[in-house]
């Protein structure tokens, strides 16, 4: 075998796994989106061939009011959650960098336990915390002085507050749950980046009388910009396709006003009667939106680096 072929031959097993686990299912999803697929098409005995409907599924998506509602919920939730996750994760990462080795390790283990918690368990815990009758959150809010509760929230009695019945409060809980589970990864990544920055730069900044904010703005952030770029892309991808936590907090697919694109895709594909072709088309649209956002963001990063 020629020497120049050896690297490509070594990549073949990995490429085969990627093709089997990622590319083939993606191809199946795209193909399904152009067909009408229901129970008759997926039954084990004598399945009926799926009818090719062309772009009808995509036409149905863009003509539906649910598309714009779901898109708005998806985008607003992702923007808020990504911003809060990055801010909180960065602050915790900076804190960890200031702690001693033992305390830093202790805190990292504690916060990574939240990150490692399965999404189903996360949703169950937060649904219990915000339960209208026995939730800890309502109990804690009722402990606040009436004047303070009225000043901050405009009400003093939180007994029986139904957090999951209204779309806004439901997404408020969802933001808290997702940020709680997501910021540890950001914090540990930022901590790893901070460890790679030479300490001499910070010593020089202190000698010049630089404040903490100016040091972060002129030294830390520029040197960690590649790390932040990757974290932003990953956070956007994760938060755009949040499903499990929303499904469990919302109690299924009852509240259609609370749909994001992932939950809408599931509802169309698996509700009775199932419209799996339409559900696949919604998933394709979501994937396309993510690809466009990621492409634009990465392209801007590359342009900025080229200018430098």
pLDDT in tens, 31-74: 999 988 887 777 767 777 888 888 999 999 999 989 999 999 99
**Average pLDDT for 82-109:** 91
Say yes or no to pLDDT of 173 above 70.
yes
CB proximity list for 74: less than 8 A, separation 6 or greater: 240, 260, 261, 262, 286
**Please, how many CA atoms are within 13 Å of residue 142, restricted to the half-sphere of its CB?**
14
Q: Which of 147, 136, 143, 146 is nearest to 173 (CA)?
A: 136
Residue 123: what pLDDT? 94
Contact 85, 175 (CB under 8 A): no
pTM of structure: 0.88
Q: Minimum mean pLDDT among 42-56, 95-109, 160-174: which range?
A: 42-56
Residue 250: what pLDDT? 92
Residue 44: what pLDDT? 64
**Please, how many CA atoms are within 13 Å of residue 83, restricted to the half-sphere of its CB?**
6
Length of the chain, in residues: 308
Contact 86, 190 (CB under 8 A): no
Residue 191: what pLDDT? 92
Residue 154 CA: distances (Å) to CA of 137, 147, 149, 161, 163:
16, 9, 7, 14, 16
Q: Which of 110, 126, 247, 130 is nearest to 183 (CA)?
A: 110
Say yes or no to pLDDT of 99 above 70.
yes
Residue 304: what pLDDT? 65
What angle, rounded to 10 degrees, do the helices at 56-63 and 65-98 form? 80
Q: Per-residue confidence at 180, pLDDT binned at 50, 70, 90?
A: very high
Residue 73: what pLDDT? 95
**Please, how many CA atoms are within 13 Å of residue 72, restricted to the half-sphere of its CB?**
10
**Average pLDDT for 165-169:** 92
Q: Per-residue confidence at 267, pLDDT binned at 50, 70, 90?
A: very high
Say yes or no to pLDDT of 29 above 60.
yes
How do residues 105-143 score in pLDDT, each as one tens digit? Answer: 899 999 999 899 999 999 999 999 999 888 899 999 988
Residue 305: what pLDDT? 61
> If you average pLDDT over every residue of the chain, what do you get?
88
Bridge-partner residues for 171, per DSSP? none
Say yes or no to pLDDT of 208 above 80.
no
Residue 221: what pLDDT? 85
Q: How far apart are alpha carbons 286 and 265 in whole angstroms?
A: 9
């Amino acid at each position: 075998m020629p020497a120049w072929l050896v690297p490509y031959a070594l990549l073949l097993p990995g490429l085969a796994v990627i093709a089997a686990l990622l590319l083939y299912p993606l191809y199946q999803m795209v193909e399904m989106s152009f067909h009408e697929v229901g129970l008759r098409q997926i039954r084990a005995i004598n399945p009926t061939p799926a009818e090719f409907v062309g772009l009808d599924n995509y036409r149905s998506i863009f003509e539906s009011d649910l598309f714009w509602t779901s898109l708005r919920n998806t985008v607003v939730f992702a923007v808020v959650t990504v911003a809060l996750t990055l801010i909180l994760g960065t602050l915790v990462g900076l804190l960890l960098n200031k702690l001693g080795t033992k305390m830093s390790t202790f805190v990292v283990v504690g916060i990574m336990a939240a990150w490692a918690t399965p999404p189903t368990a996360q949703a169950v815990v937060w649904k219990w915390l915000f339960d209208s009758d026995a939730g800890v959150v309502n109990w804690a809010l009722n402990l606040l002085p009436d004047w303070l509760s009225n000043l901050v929230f405009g009400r003093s009695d939180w007994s029986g507050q139904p957090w999951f019945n209204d779309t806004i409060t439901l997404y408020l809980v969802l933001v808290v749950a997702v940020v709680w589970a997501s910021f540890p990864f950001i914090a540990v990544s930022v901590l790893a980046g901070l460890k790679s920055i030479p300490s001499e730069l910070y010593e020089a900044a202190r000698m010049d009388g630089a404040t903490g904010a100016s040091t972060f703005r002129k030294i830390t952030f520029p040197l960690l910009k590649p790390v932040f770029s990757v974290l932003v892309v990953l956070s956007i991808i994760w938060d755009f396709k949040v499903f499990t936590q929303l499904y469990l907090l919302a109690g299924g697919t009852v509240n259609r006003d609370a749909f994001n694109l992932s939950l809408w895709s599931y509802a169309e594909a698996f509700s009775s009667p199932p419209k799996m072709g339409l559900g696949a088309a919604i998933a394709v649209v979501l994937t396309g939106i993510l690809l466009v956002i990621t492409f634009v963001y990465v392209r801007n990063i590359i342009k900025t680096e080229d200018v430098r």
